[in-house]
Amino acid sequence: MTTTKIAFIGAGSVVFTQGLLADLFAFPELTDAHIALHDIDAERLATADGAARHIAAERGAAARITAHADRRAALEGADFVINIVQVGMGEATRTDFDVPARYGLRQTIGDTLGIGGIFRALRTFPLLKSLGDDISELCPDAWLLNYTNPMAMNVQYLSQATGLTRVVGLCHSVYWTMRDLSELLGVAYEDVNYLAAGVNHQAWVLRFEQGGTDLYPRLDALVADDPQLRRRVRVDMYRRLGHYPTETSEHSAEYVPWYLHHAEEIERLRLPVGAYLGIVDENVAEYEKTRAALASGSPLPVEGTMEYAPQVIHSIVTGTPRTVYGNVPNRGLIDNLPASGTVEVPCLVDALGVQPTRIGALPAQCAALNRTYLSMNDLVVRAALYDEPRHIRQAAMTDPATAAALPVERIWDLCDDMVRAHGEALQPSLRAVLGN
């Protein structure tokens, strides 16, 4: 049997790499895989290499582990490519928060929509284009499993700019939402049946059942009896839209115009403005902790994370069927969303690959929000595909939270300042300062 080669692009995201490897090596059929690690940061790459070897030894895996400063060497002959790159790392993320904050624009996470999402995408697209070109040349049959945000924009760009067809975006939001809802209602997750669909970080729980019984009425009663539960954005959205959203309140608040622009709503719904900056600091601290532990010869124990990528790889390699939630081009999967957009739907995975489920139409009120989200995404992708810097500003004008907070001239000024701040990270055609 041929050894499975799995390339990690951005392996210097060490904590995430560790979790994925712990999950991979939990499958006996993958313990002899070739793990090819790539990162442009030599220190982080060395730390990832050390952590991978420790995890393999701890799990009794006979994996071949190689570390590559050269991405092409890591990709050569790969069966699977896991993309976990964050272009610009924490410094770029701080820029995504600091510059908009000077305009009075509030963000909580800033990685999916809004000004933060737009510019995270624009500085990631050049990497995705070169990565896609390398995959087409060096491992054209590989599955590209993308974790890098903004998920929906990145998958749309990959599908339209590179021609790759074996691309799926993976996110744990649906899985953890359903685990949390099950725990909230006091039912075992394993006994629950559910269906969700929409777009990444704004999908909707369409069915939530146990033994054929709808669990939504029990959730309604719980919400009605608990005023503190009602002080959460996703619960507020659920009460008004009728379907529970599959991402946290901190994320969800950024994708609509109703919350972050209003100080009283921030207080009522306990929204932590700028929360992601704390997460950035925590990630750095975790990396330093891991690096120090490896240097002292006492690596930290790493638990499995139940991420989708190892499950996808195992199913394709062994033919074991399972369902995961994937982000894929729409192409008729959801009738009332744009065909060119990226949607999140359940996908059957087996030896034939990732096979998305056709959903039909979403509830009209859910589709209405998703269409705005996908319209903004489309403009950002078009900016890169057609070298049109005006589309960046038009995307920001379309974004609900940005449009709620700023007049149009200030939106254009903000985009100019963000272009200046990110400078060389953008493709040359998008570096123009346009004025308002």
Active-site residues: which are they? 172
* 3-state class (DSSP) for residue 110: coil
SS3 226: coil
* CA 337 – CA 223 distance, rounded (Å): 30
* Residue 122 phi, psi dihedral angles, 5° rounding: -65, -30
Residue type, 417: D
Residue reference for tokens 């300062």: 433
User: How crowded is residue 174: how many other Cβ atoms within 10 Å of its Cβ?
Assistant: 25
DSSP string covering 358-386: P-BPPPHHHHHHHHHHHHHHHHHHHHHHT
Q: How far apart are CA 237 and CA 288, in angstroms?
A: 38
Asked if residue 150 has a cis previous peptide bond (ω within 30° of 0), the answer is yes
> What does the alpha-carbon distance between residue 403 and residue 424 come to, in Å, rounded to a whole number?
27
Cα gap 169→349, rounded to integer Å: 13
Token pair in block for residue 331: 């192409």
Q: Select from 231, 229, 207, 210 the least CA-distant residue to 220.
A: 229
Structure tokens at 9: 């692009």
- The answer to whether residues 155 and 328 touch, using CB atoms and an 8 Å cutoff, is yes
Q: Tokens for 203? A: 């999908």
Beta strands (DSSP E) in 265-341 are: 322-329
Provide the β-strand partners of residue 342: 329
Helices (H), 162-274: 173-185, 216-225, 233-241, 249-252, 263-268
Cα–Cα distance measured from residue 103 to residue 123, given in angstroms and rounded to the nearest whole number: 21
Provide CB contacts within 8 A for 178, sequence distance 6+.
189, 192, 194, 196, 205, 208
Burial 327-366 (b: 16+ CB within 10 A, else e): bbbbeebbeebbebbbbbbbbbbeeeebebeebeebeeeb
Q: How far apart are CA 196 and CA 198, in angstroms?
A: 7
Q: Measured between alpha carbons, how far apart are the two ends of the chain, in Å?
A: 61
